[in-house]
Amino acid sequence: MNDHPTPDPALTDRNALYIGGSWRYSAGAATDPVANAADGTELGAIPRGTAEDVDVAVIAARVASNAWAASGVAERVEVLRALSAGLAERQDAIARLISLEVGTPLKISRAVQVGLPSAVLNAFADTLGSYAWEHEVGNSLVVREAAGVVGAITPWNYPLHQLVAKVGGALAAGCSVVAKPAGVAPLSAFAFADVFAEVADRLGLPAGLFNLVSGPGSEVGEAIAGHPGVDVVSFTGSTAAGARVMRTAAEHITRVSLELGGKSANIVLPTADLGRAVKTGVNNAFLNSGQTCSAWTRMLVSRESQDEVIDLARAAAERLTLGHPLDAATRLGPLASAQQQATVRDYIRLGESEGGAGQAAKLVLGGSATPDGLDEGFYVRPTIFAGVDNASRLAQEEIFGPVLVIIPFDNEDEAVAIANDSPYGLAGGVWSGDEEHALAVARRIRTGQVDVNGGAFNPAAPFGGYKKSGLGREFGTHGIDEFTETKAIQR
């Protein structure tokens, strides 16, 4: 464990916030430690910002928003591409940072935790080229204008990706940003601020266009959500926390965009290529050790193929080597925090002791015991339960760890009913030997996105959910729309 070099202290030991175009000390003197997910030691520290810091940041953002709203498309495209290039240049260093603070295996961190955010910024730049800022309806000219100041509150599982999803859309729309990263994994947000500061100095951007205030959600998050100077609050996190953000923002009738939890179903129809469907489904469910809101954590299979699916799923999961996130052989790293580790293990114990509602689940792989040789850090065995009742807590609640449940169905209508029998509606998958048939089933699933036969993630397509999975959409034209106001001019 101790053979892995630690990142540059300049990336891990942060003593200042980025506000108004410069690094400055917080109004408070306290700091918060950041844990190394791989061994539980202290990885670094960040300032514990205050409501006073938020107020200063919002004032700076308000001034900057007026100037940036008047910028042209070409200038915005230049900034987005410069930020993308800046992240790409630092890809390895930031990937190692995220691997240690989140637990993501390094290879995946490079491609997904850093490579994807860089691609998303370029996708926003591409979208701006064809974005419709105005159109005519009869005697009215309908125009879209920048909303103003965006408060961005981001999660710890994909810390840079979710920050870029909000900042990229806001900058494209002509807005300024006050961002608060999650305390569990905030260091990549500071690395992004480093990139932004360099781009801002080189291109002469308005001071306060992007601001970063770290600190607890109970103070900094509340201050952003409840600030009268914030025009749009964009939040990604748990459903419970999202509801609190919405209540806080309601005091000033502030618009809210929420990307929340999920319990997505992966329907494997009888005509599907079982080998490919199950392997892809297991990899999806366990990506980032299951710390993915859109993960397909419910695998729905025909009852007659359940035994074969169990064998295939076990084999696929056994190939996911659990270990230190910086080891080349690792395919499954630790969870991001001791608290998350404890929560996931509690769910696994529930499955081991009770199973489902009305029937016992079968433990196929894994369990709640500490993985061999991984006593330090926040590791959890990849775990699969089969024969799970969809009414059980295992099937209804978001576990946010490497836990997959296999649920049998007797016919297609029942499969769709099970998929939709959830408080969430974020994502899902459908597998069939007939793509048109799979598409027809996908249309029946009440979720914000569905992948047919393993369709790839599209950073230009809208991302968001139905029901308790949230409000609004990120990425592409929809991700710009979230940060605009609509005006009708009659003539």
Instruction: Check 175, 293, 474, 482 and give the catalytic one.
Output: 293
Claim: this prediction has a pTM higher than 0.85 = yes
Residue 30, Cβ density class (10 Å: 0-12 exposed, 13-18 middle, ≥19 buried) = exposed
| Distance (Å, whole) CA 295 – CA 283 | 9
pLDDT score for 356: 46
pLDDT score for 1: 44
Instruction: Check 101, 219, 259, 474 and give the catalytic one.
Output: 259
pLDDT score for 3: 73
Per DSSP, 471 falls in state E
Segments of the chain scoring below 50 in pLDDT: 1, 356-358
Where residue 240 falls (left for φ over 0; alpha for ψ -120 to 50; beta otherwise) is: alpha
pLDDT score for 359: 55
Whether residue 134 lies in the annotated active site: no
For the segment(s) 265-457, the CATH number from 3.40.50.2000, 1.10.10.10, 3.90.1300.10, 3.40.309.10 is 3.40.309.10
| Distance (Å, whole) CA 463 – CA 307 | 34
Domain limits of the chain? 9-260+469-490, 265-457
pLDDT score for 5: 82
pLDDT digits (tens, 9 = 90+) for 324-378: 999 999 999 999 999 999 999 999 999 998 654 445 689 999 999 999 999 999 9
pLDDT score for 360: 66
9-260+469-490 and 265-457 in the same fold: no
Looking at domain 9-260+469-490, does it have CATH number 3.40.605.10? yes
| Distance (Å, whole) CA 162 – CA 263 | 19
Whether residue 175 lies in the annotated active site: no
pLDDT score for 453: 98
Count CB atoms within 10 A of the CB of residue 350. 17
pLDDT score for 2: 53
pLDDT score for 4: 86
pLDDT score for 353: 87
